[in-house]
Each structure stands twice: as structure tokens, then as C-alpha cells.
Amino acid sequence: MTTEQKRILYRQLQSINNHGTEFVSEFYRRLFEQYPHLRVMFKSTLSEQYTKFMSMLSIIIKGMGNPSIIVPLIAEMGESHKSYGVLPHHYTIIEDIFLSVLRDTFPDDYNDEIEQAWKQAFQFMSRIMQE
């Protein structure tokens, strides 16, 4: 991941934080509408899931410049997700839903460069989480 991609993600993270409740609510609405069978994997309330989602997103994006710290956290998150029944194809579903919500929430601040930065981040995370 390039320095510019990291800057893009950090800037986008600030936008997501400013629209956190709306963004996360829409993410889960679309996820459960399109893939209702995944709902059983989420034991937390939506409020708790919001906190987890925003916290992990922030930690991962802010930590992209320091792999020695972030990789063990992502690996640990991957282990917990395996225990919930997360399968490899679920990572693609999450990425697709996330990008669609991002595109629709911030249409004036979404382009190919931004999409590629997020895809790089998702590939990085999902690779580690599935190891």
C-alpha cells in the first residue's frame, strides 16, 4: 500500500467517523437485506456492533503504517471471526457491501483511486484474517 493510499484511507476514515451511525447502520441494513443468513453470526446488538465496527476500522486504518502492531491485531480478529463461522467468501461480501455504502454515502468523494485504496486495505486484512 502506498503512502498516498494510506492518506486516502485516513481522510475517508474521518468522513466515515463524521457519519458513523448512518454509515454503519446502512452497512448492516444492506448486509442483512442481501444476505439474511449471515445475521446469525452477529451475536452483538447493533449498537455494540457499531462500536466494534468503528473501533476496528479506526485501528486498522491508523495502524496501516505500522505492520508489527496491526498484523497481530488483525490475525486475532481473524481467529475470532473463524469461531463465528466466517468463511473465505464472506470477506468479499463484506468488502462489496462496504464499498457500495461508501460510494453511496460519499458520492462526491468516491473515485477509482479511493476504491483501489480500500480494496488494497481489504485484501491486506482478509489475507491476514484467513491465515
> What CATH number does the domain containing 56 carry?
1.10.490.10
Task: Round the average pLDDT of the chain to a whole number and report it.
Answer: 92
Distance CA 29, CA 7 (A): 28
**pLDDT score recorded for residue 14:** 93
Residue 13 has pLDDT above 90, yes or no: yes
Longest C-alpha distance within the chain, in Å? Answer: 38
Distance CA 35, CA 124 (A): 24
Give the rounded percent of residues in the chain with a pLDDT score beyond 70.
100
Instruction: Over range 84-105, report the average pLDDT.
Output: 95
Distance CA 73, CA 131 (A): 13
What confidence tens digit (pLDDT) does each residue in 70-82 have?
A: 999 999 999 999 9
Domain count, the chain: 1
**pLDDT score recorded for residue 12:** 93
Domain that holds residue 49: 3-129
